[in-house]
Structures are given as C-alpha cells and as structure tokens.
Structure 1
Amino acid sequence: MRHGARPKNRLIRYAAVTALAAAPLVTLASVGQADQLAPPLGPCVGDCPNPFPPVHNGPAAGTDDTINIFVGGNYRVEGRSAEAEGKVVTVKDLTVDKNGGGLFNMGVVGVGSQVAPPPGTDHVTVGGAVDVVTGNRVQLGGGNPARWGNLAYGTTESGTLEFSGPGAARRDPAAIDPFRGLTTVVEDHSACMAEQTATGELTVNGNLYTFTGDGHSTRQVFNVNRNIGSATAAADLVFAGIPAGATVIVNMVGPDPVLIRTNTGSGIPGDQLTDMQPLLMWNFPVSTDATITGGAQFQGSVMAGNPAGTVTLSNPGTNGRVYLAGNLVQGGTAGTELHAYPFNGDLPTCGQSPTPSPSPSPSESESPSPSPSESESKSPHPSPSRSEKPSESVEPTHGERPVPEHSRKPEGPLADTGSGPAGPIAGAAAVLLGLGTAVTMLARRSRGRRH
C-alpha cells in the first residue's frame, strides 16, 4: 500500500496499520520499497484472466471490479469515439456529443479485452450530470454472452440510454462518495513518480525514439522534457535495457501542451509494447493540456496529476488504465476506444524515510548528476518555447529533478533468479538478529547483577 505525500486517505492509513500489526518484521524491512496501486485502482479484482487476452470481439473473458477509467473532473466524448470498456467513474459530468451522433458503448464493448465489470454492478458512476446530446446513444451491457450493469448519476440525466437485461439508470448522489478521495490519490502518485531520479534516457534519431534503461533496476524511470513525435510526424517507440518484470515509468515533464504521437502499438502478443503493457505507466504530472494521438493501439496506463488539466485521447485504442485528476476528452477522427487492461506495476512510495542500505558498488551506482549545462537543457520545468529541433539526431533526456534526501527511494537491481522476496526476508533476518543481540545483552546484564 503506497503512502502518498498527502496521507489523507483513511483507508490507506488503516491498511498500513493493519499490515504493520500483522507482519512487523517484513513491513519494517520493506519501508522505502514500492507497491502496487491499492484497490479500487490498479490490478484486476474479480474473475481475472491470466494473461488478459488481446483485443478481440469474442466471448466474455472474465470480470474486473477495478476502475478502468477514473476522471476527477469532466468526461467528454466527441469525434468518432466508439467505446469505453470496464468500470468508469467520473466525479463531475459525463457528456456524449459525437460528430454526427451515433452509438457509444460503455462497460461492455464490441471490441476490447472482453473483461467487463461484474454483472449487476454500477458499470458507470457519474457524480454530476449525464448529457447524451440529441442524435447520440449510450449503450451499457450486451456482448456474448450478454452482460449487464447500471449507471448511477448525481444530478440530472438527459438523452438516450440503452441497457442490456435488467440494467438501469438511477439518480444516486451518494454513489460517487466512495470515489471522491481518489482524485488526491492520483495527484499524489503522479507527483511521486515525477520526483524520481531517472534510471534511463531517451535518444531521438529522426522518428525513432529509443528509451534505454540501466539494465538492472526493478523500476525503470524516464523523465522526458520534450514531445514524443510532432504535429506532422508519428514517433516509432523502442525500449532497450529493460529487465523482465521491471515497472517502466515515463514522466512527461515537457512544456505545455504535451504531445505523444505514435503509430507504435498493435496489441498483438509478441509485440514489445504489448508485452510491457501491464507494467508500463505514462505519467503527466503537471500538464494542463496533454494529448495522445496517432494510429496506434497505445499500450500502457495513463496517469495525470493536475486537477485543472485535460488529457485528450484521440488514438484508435488505449490498452491500459486511465487515471486522471482532471478532465478527459475522448475523441478523434478514428473510432477511439478505451480498453480494459490492468496496471500491475509497482509505483514509488514518497513521504517516508528510506531504510538504510549499503553503498552501491560502482557498477550499481546511479549515473552522476548532469553537468550544469546539461541540467539546464534537461530541466523538467516548462520552457517558454515549444519549438522542436528536427535537425538534432540525438537528444538524451535524463531530466533528473532535485529530490529531498528523505524522500529518495533506494533502487535495487532486479534479481537474475526472479527471487523478489529475498529483500524483505533478508531484512526480517536482520531484525531478528538485532533482537537476538538485544536479548543476549539483557541476559548478560541480569547475570552481572546476580554476582
């Protein structure tokens, strides 16, 4: 369970206390590590297929009660958008106003992972108003076999809503209450990711964007202070130096507006980004205007931490969670679809003191800090100019941010054998050794007093 920089979430605090009481040795040894997102965010919860199937229009593949799309602001559907799969929560309003109108599927979709929320649950929860503009239709439920769910809204509902089976819409202002605190959770996670020191760099050669990791860290971090692709050219994405099982975080810290335009990503098993998808997170920590577009089935989850920001998804498909503190615009000239795929990666934990660790060997130490001239060119803060530099063939982007010592996280190498629990077990052994030493000293003192 991650403890954010703003530990206001009571559930998180209570879970932390419970974990400490249940397993004090392992927990103490693991302070300063990283953990998966806590429910209702992150990994699949329910009848979860393993692995998740590729995008298809076949029969149902399971159920997932984890939120797939969380919007802390307003959710607007426009362009030629087609569908939003999985559990959808928007704290404010939902507006469906497609160009030329037409059908928009939610919860259960025609083409996706075919992993829908459990039958009979709220597939869509809206804190404010639902406005399906005249000429548009929103359908919840269906598929093969037919699945059904409900829509809960807070204030008003207008337009055409269609439901499979006994599904229905209901006015329920309290339905959003369990999810309101998630806006702060998303803000905290997004800010914490952006504080991390880069473990790799991005190099650019024409339209080829290569993310090269350090080859050993369990969490690979890239701080990118420029757009990926441009208004006229789509980037080809390649990752290298990423150990199997490593979480990959791409912090988009460049100037506003921020753009990712790529055609890389098919969703077909065996493709590099398809295989990375469950552990890949694209983070927009401060952007007021961020867009992901191009011709790809975009792989990985998307997080944005600015509650005043807007993320626009206009690519044909997004395969991963979408967690935004601000607003979402779904729309493009293609039939934009958001597909339900989990994020199983481990995110950094901020706001805690790291456990002491031995000084790394030269081969394990992080890259030295950039020189003054290099750090200037890689500042994560927005620059006043958005001009691109097509003449540059290589552009490293360490983009390291100064982080207070108390919030830095130790990064260990990924074990070649895959024995992840070794760290906590070793820590527990160290604690036991310390306790044994203390007991021995007390016994010696007791014997001394008896002489």
Structure 2
Amino acid sequence: MSQRERGTRRVVRSVAAATATLAAAGGTLLACAFAAPGAGDGRPVAGPGPCVPGRCPAAYPDPHGGAVVGRDNGVNVFVGGDFAVRGAAAGAEGRVVVEGEFDLAKGSGSPPAYHVGAVGVGSRVPPDNGSPFLRVGGDLKLAAGQRLLAEDGPVNGTVAFAGRQTGTGTVSPKAVRDTGALAAFDGLREELTAASTCYAYDKGVPRKPTGTAVNQGKVTVFTGDGTSAFQVFNAPFDLVAPDGSAQSLSFRKIPANATVLVNVTDENGEARTINTSAVALAGVRRERLLWNIPDAKVVRIAGGGQLQGSVLVGRRSSTTRLSVAAVNGRVFTAGSLAHESGTGGAGGQTIHAYPFVGVLPECGTGPTPDGGHTDTGEPVPFPTGVLPPGFPGLEGLEGLEGLMGRPGAAGPDDAAPAEGRELPREGPPMRASMAVGATLMAVGAALALAVLFRTRSGPGSGPGRRT
C-alpha cells in the first residue's frame, strides 16, 4: 500500500469516526447550539472567543498592574500539543488548557516562577477564584527549583492534570490530579485545524482579500477597503525586516468595529515568522483582530513589541515559539507551544487575557487532516470539495462549527448546566438534531467513498495538495 493510500485511509477513518460521533450525539450538540451564549451548558468552541461570565468588564483596559477589573472564565490559551516554558518567560493570564504535557524548565539564570491565570501586569481579568487556571491532559513536569503559580495577590486558582506529576518543582496554591481534566475538550484540536484552514482558504484557494498587505521593509502595511465590516488580508510572507529583525505593523482604512482577519500563509507548509516592534492599530480593536497561521510547521512570534489581537495556529504537527514581549489576546494552537524569552533577549514575556469578539466566516467542513499534511509531511487529499458526480455535497449544512457554536461564540469550559435544566427531549430542536444526525451519517459515507474515488482518480488542487 502506498503512503498516499495509507494517508487516504486515515482520512476516511477520521471522517467516519467524526460523523458517527456527531450523529450519535446530535441532540446534545444541537441543544448547546440553540442555547444562549454563556448559558452554562456549552462546550468550548473552535477558536478564540469572547469573555465568559464570571464578571466580564464593560471594557478591557490596556495592560496595567492595578486592581482586578473583572473575571473571564473563557479559555485564553489553548495548546493541542505540549506546552514548554523556557528562558525567562513570565506567565500566561487567563484560563490555560493543554492537551499534552506541561513542562516548566526555565533554566539557570532565569526567575524560576511562571504564572498561570493571573499575572502582575495584564488586562487584570483573571478566571474566578478557586477554579482551574491550568488544565493539563498529560503529565505536569516541573524541574527542580521551578515554581508554577496559579495565584497573584488576592487571585488564586488550581492546577488540574490528568497524567503524572514529575520533577521536584512546586505548585501554588495546589495541584489536583483529575483524569477527566480534558474531557470537555475532545475534538477541539481537530476543529481548530478545520477552522484555521477555512478562514485562510475558500474551496481550496486563498480567501479573497478586501485589502492589501505589503512588506515595505521596516513596516508591513495592511490597507483595507474602508467599508467592509469583515476585512481580510493575505500575507504569504514573513512579517520581518529585510535582515530578519523586528518591524512595525500598521493598519489603514479599517472601518470602526470591523473584524480584521490576517492570514499568514506558507504554501510549502514550512515556517512563518512575525517579528514585531509595535502594532499601529489606527482604530482597529484588538478584540476584533485575528492572526491566522494555518499551514506552517514552525511558527515564530518574536520581537520587543506587544502583538495586539488573538492568534490561531492551525497545523497539529506545528510548534509555535513565542518570545514576543506580550500577546494582548487569545492564543490558540492545534500544535505545540514553547513560551520563551529568545536568545539573548530580555525576560518577562507574557500572554495577556483579552477576548476575541470578531465575526468570522461560517465553516461547514468539519475536521480536516493536518493542514493537508500527514505527520511525515506527505500531503493527503482534503475531504471537502472532492465528491464525485451524483453524491450529495455539503451545501446547506452548518457543519461542525454550526453544531458547536461558530468560532467567536461564547462557551464556558467549567460551568455546569443551570439548576434543573434538561436537554430537550422532543420538539423542533430534537427533530432538527435527528435530521442533521441522519444527514451527517449519509455525508460521512459519501465522503469516505469520495476520498477513495479521488485517490484512484488522481490528486486534486488546493492548500496542502503538493506532490
């Protein structure tokens, strides 16, 4: 069996399993979709989202070291792989979720503490006291002398981990082993890949931009059309100065309250770098700015400036090396994350908790392969847009994000259903879920046959389909 055929069979199994799961759980998923945002019965959504009560502030202040101004129980950092802390990185504000292992080993010469949930200078909008500030699906690894702090002054939470705790480092106030720590996040990693790919590519080609992105050397300028409520920029290049050093990032002609999507793409699926000294928003709200990096295997976000806006990295086999002074927004990656200070750089790197409230395209593709790649880098066909004549298409289906709540919708990860609340047993929502479940099963079967058909007919076109 060829490598391409093995990859295709993996796609078929993935699509079939996802379809069967959705069909079986359709009632529950659709009930969550019909619920009001933040109602308490939803699960995390595929991508950075808004503040989840808590006590959300009316407006988020710029980073400061003053009093706590509110509470946000939304996930601020999601890592589908492993999370390593190195160098002199200082902390990640807000709720942090790691599917793999969390490894704190900052090394000699660096302050030994790393904060989760609350940091000394940030938005000062942490999660509720007593809740898990950090959830780890794998091992919690703490090197000798290292301190993992889920507290800052009057703010304090816990650390929950499903694997083992290794090393002689310490956790304060406490760590709790919980084999179900990541139960609510099943499938989210795959959804992130699907969403990131969809935001960057529309039916296999780069999404149509509304403006231009031009690297002018010391600055990359994003010039919008001045009118659209959804501004799209495609940047198939590194955001760096000619010598690789930091540059400023500047936005122009962006309407008030517009959602701004910047797709930083790499058709070779290798590496992309954002090295910034400053971001001139010029009216752009950080809460409506998303940096989407769908296909690079190595992502570097560096520089002495503060990167405004949220970050989404879509490739599951990716590693993001984050050494920028601060990110003022959500950081969601389907891959692994290394929070570090960079070679010879100053310390104190932080991720600050700011929500994402932009309105993004609806994506009905469901889970996709790893940005079109297998773990070895061998491209495999996408299960979308490959149906042979006579098979039903995906048109008219909301797809996975329609069921879960589209990216940008609220969904707490810890809250339980309200007292006495039950999922609907009959009526239009349940009938709709049964219909969607049946349709998904049919589409799953069609996709499986379609991918096999495509394999025998030859590769198609689109991101990741390189030979």
Q: Give 2:362's aligned residue.
A: 349
Alpha-carbon distance in 1 for matches of 2:160, 2:105: 19
**Superposition pairs of residues 151-190 of structure 1, within 5 angstroms:** 151-158=159-166, 159-163=168-172, 167-190=173-196
- TM-score with structure 1 length normalisation? 0.68
Among 112, 116, 119, which residue is 1:109 paired with? Answer: 119
1:12: how far off?
10
Cα distance change of structure 1 residues 204 and 99 upon mapping to structure 2, 3 Å threshold:
same
Alpha-carbon distance in 2 for matches of 1:339, 1:187: 23
Identity of aligned residues (%): 34
SS in 1 for 2:181: helix
**Superposition pairs of residues 234-253 of structure 1, within 5 angstroms:** 234-253=246-265
Cα distance change of structure 1 residues 20 and 283 upon mapping to structure 2, 3 Å threshold:
closer
Among 138, 142, 148, which residue is 2:152 paired with? Answer: 142
Among 83, 86, 92, which residue is 2:91 paired with? Answer: 83
Alpha-carbon distance in 1 for matches of 2:26, 2:200: 23
1:180: how far off?
2.6
Larger-gyration structure (1/2): 1
**Superposition pairs of residues 4-403 of structure 1, within 5 angstroms:** 17=30, 38=45, 41-46=48-53, 47-100=55-108, 101=110, 102-143=112-153, 146-158=154-166, 159-163=168-172, 167-195=173-201, 196-230=207-241, 232-254=244-266, 255=268, 256-265=270-279, 272=281, 275-332=284-341, 333-334=345-346, 335-351=348-364
After superposition, what is the alpha-carbon deviation per residue over 1:266-298, rounded to whole angstroms, capped at 9, x for unaligned?
A: xxxxx6268521000001101100111111111
Alpha-carbon distance in 1 for matches of 2:199, 2:47: 19
Residues 83 and 338, structure 2, Cα contact 8 Å, conserved in 1:
yes
1:40: how far off?
8.7
Cα distance change of structure 1 residues 50 and 39 upon mapping to structure 2, 3 Å threshold:
farther
Letter in 2 for 1:328: L
Alpha-carbon distance in 1 for matches of 2:299, 2:97: 20
Cα distance change of structure 1 residues 90 and 274 upon mapping to structure 2, 3 Å threshold:
farther
After superposition, what is the alpha-carbon deviation per residue over 1:2-39, rounded to whole angstroms, capped at 9, x for unaligned?
A: xxx9776689965884599899xxxxxxxxxxxxx948
1:241: how far off?
2.0
Letter in 2 for 1:148: N
Alpha-carbon distance in 2 for matches of 1:13, 1:283: 29
Residues 47 and 195, structure 2, Cα contact 8 Å, conserved in 1:
no
Alpha-carbon distance in 1 for matches of 2:246, 2:229: 29
Letter in 1 for 2:313: A
Residues 189 and 347, structure 1, Cα contact 8 Å, conserved in 2:
no
Q: Give 1:28's aligned residue.
A: none
1:139: how far off?
1.1
After superposition, what is the alpha-carbon deviation per residue over 1:367-386, rounded to whole angstroms, capped at 9, x for unaligned?
A: xxxxxxxxxxxxx999xxxx
Tell me which of the two structures has the higher relative contact order, counting C-alpha pairs closer than 8 angstroms and 6 or more residues apart.
Answer: 2
Moved more, 319-328 or 225-234: 225-234
After superposition, what is the alpha-carbon deviation per residue over 1:307-361, rounded to whole angstroms, capped at 9, x for unaligned?
A: 1001111011011000110100110133211111101111111228xxxxxxxxx
SS in 2 for 1:189: helix
1:118: how far off?
0.8
After superposition, what is the alpha-carbon deviation per residue over 1:114-152, rounded to whole angstroms, capped at 9, x for unaligned?
A: 111111111100000111111321111122xx0211111
1:184: how far off?
1.8
Cα distance change of structure 1 residues 141 and 247 upon mapping to structure 2, 3 Å threshold:
same
Residues 273 and 299, structure 1, Cα contact 8 Å, conserved in 2:
no
SS in 1 for 2:273: strand
Alpha-carbon distance in 2 for matches of 1:340, 1:295: 19
Alpha-carbon distance in 2 for matches of 1:244, 1:186: 28
How many residues end up aligned between the 2 structures?
Answer: 336
Moved more, 272-281 or 191-200: 272-281
Residues 262 and 294, structure 1, Cα contact 8 Å, conserved in 2:
yes
1:197: how far off?
1.6
Residues 76 and 95, structure 2, Cα contact 8 Å, conserved in 1:
yes
Alpha-carbon distance in 2 for matches of 1:162, 1:327: 22
CA-based RMSD of the aligned residues comes to 3.2
Residues 236 and 262, structure 1, Cα contact 8 Å, conserved in 2:
yes
Cα distance change of structure 1 residues 188 and 98 upon mapping to structure 2, 3 Å threshold:
same
SS in 2 for 1:258: strand
Alpha-carbon distance in 2 for matches of 1:111, 1:344: 22
Residues 67 and 89, structure 1, Cα contact 8 Å, conserved in 2:
yes
Letter in 1 for 2:244: T
1:407: how far off?
7.2
Cα distance change of structure 1 residues 232 and 22 upon mapping to structure 2, 3 Å threshold:
closer
Alpha-carbon distance in 2 for matches of 1:170, 1:51: 33
Residues 264 and 292, structure 2, Cα contact 8 Å, conserved in 1:
yes
SS in 2 for 1:308: coil
1:403: how far off?
8.7
Letter in 2 for 1:170: V
Q: Give 2:10's aligned residue.
A: none
1:59: how far off?
1.1
Residues 138 and 161, structure 1, Cα contact 8 Å, conserved in 2:
yes
- 5+ unaligned residues in a row in structure 1: which ranges? 24-36, 266-270, 353-379, 383-401, 409-451
